[in-house]
Structure 1
């Protein structure tokens, strides 16, 4: 499993209905993308649920690097770059994935938390703690799924979870899920990723 995300932080007075319309128009294009576990089309709106910014920030879990690369180099990503400029694309190597207790429910909200790995930390312990946190999150009321991954170029973990309600028991940035493309969700490997 590979995690990927890019963020478009928009002006404070940006009409976020433009993003809603864009997702309604193009969101279905990844509903059957080869190699994609899932893509959550995420939006934070300034002043809503405590967000300080307007931000469009899709989050991906990939089953294959080939599927991810086809998206990046084969045209899927080009449309966004043409419309908004080319954002930096963050990538993390999977640590853990679990379906949640509300796995059959519609994912309405997402929480994303990035955390640096402290210098001197024992990497096996950091990874074990991430795996344990994913398992805990997946058991929380309303959890649709939970995942964790690591960026070894920045030594940073990312925790990502989807929820059926707007009061998740997870710390981090809260996003609305505008659409969920999940053609390979059932194939995402559960549990620890090594």
Structure 2
């Protein structure tokens, strides 16, 4: 499995109702897309409630394989995103753990963290540690937990999705907090 994400940071005075409306009108169009496990339509708003929040649109995808990514990036839907916001850098991550994919559509908020993988780090040990952390978060109530790594830039992606905000995660500068507008699924 592969995770994929791109992010558009929008101006501080951008009307985020435009993003919420876009998600509401177009989110369902990816339901049943070939090779897609889920797409979480993530957005954040500079509102003073969330530490470090900026206006952003940052969808996160979980793909069964590379064929789905290729189909999507060549699709009219992605062309429309590029026409509206510009062509983004697309990050692709190899998935180490994903727990709770079937409950992802019930999530309303997610927390993401990226972290550099230090030179000399044992990937086998790090993978085991990430899988244990994913299990722990899932047992603590996260609806979906994703752990993945990017061997091109040597980074880890950690994402946990919840049915409500988690104060312990929201208050830290280590996590980026997003609202989830919709989750498209393979159906």
TM-score, scaled relative to structure 1:
0.88
Structure 1 distance, partners of 2:2, 2:25, is 26
Q: Equivalent residue for 1:6?
A: 6
> In structure 2, do the counterparts of structure 1 residues 37 and 77 end up closer, same or farther at CA, with 3 Å as the change threshold?
same
* 1:158 and 2:157 correspond: yes
> In structure 2, do the counterparts of structure 1 residues 19 and 104 end up closer, same or farther at CA, with 3 Å as the change threshold?
closer
Q: Equivalent residue for 1:191?
A: none
Task: Quote the RMSD (CA, aligned, Å).
Answer: 1.8
Q: Equivalent residue for 1:190?
A: none
> In structure 2, do the counterparts of structure 1 residues 168 and 68 end up closer, same or farther at CA, with 3 Å as the change threshold?
farther
Does structure 2 conserve the Cα–Cα contact (< 8 Å) formed by 1:140 and 1:169?
no
Q: Which runs of 5+ in 1 are unaligned?
A: 185-194
> In structure 2, do the counterparts of structure 1 residues 151 and 119 end up closer, same or farther at CA, with 3 Å as the change threshold?
same
Structure 2 distance, partners of 1:59, 1:104, is 12
Structure 2 distance, partners of 1:146, 1:50, is 22
Matched residue count: 182
> In structure 2, do the counterparts of structure 1 residues 168 and 125 end up closer, same or farther at CA, with 3 Å as the change threshold?
farther
Does structure 2 conserve the Cα–Cα contact (< 8 Å) formed by 1:2 and 1:65?
yes
> In structure 2, do the counterparts of structure 1 residues 131 and 93 end up closer, same or farther at CA, with 3 Å as the change threshold?
same
> In structure 2, do the counterparts of structure 1 residues 104 and 85 end up closer, same or farther at CA, with 3 Å as the change threshold?
closer
Structure 1 distance, partners of 2:129, 2:167, is 20
* 1:178 and 2:181 correspond: yes
**Alignment partner of 2:38: what SS?**
strand
Q: Which runs of 5+ in 2 are unaligned?
A: none
Q: Equivalent residue for 1:167?
A: 166
The 5-angstrom pairing of residues 25-174 of structure 1 reads 25-46=25-46, 47-99=48-100, 103=103, 106-141=106-141, 143-167=142-166, 170=169, 172-174=175-177
Please state how far the C-alpha of 1:163 moved relative to its aligned partner: 0.5
TM-score, scaled relative to structure 2:
0.91
> In structure 2, do the counterparts of structure 1 residues 76 and 64 end up closer, same or farther at CA, with 3 Å as the change threshold?
farther
**Alignment partner of 1:138: what SS?**
helix
Larger proportion of helix? 2
Post-superposition, which runs of at least 4 consecutive aligned residues in structure 1 deviate over 4 A? 168-171
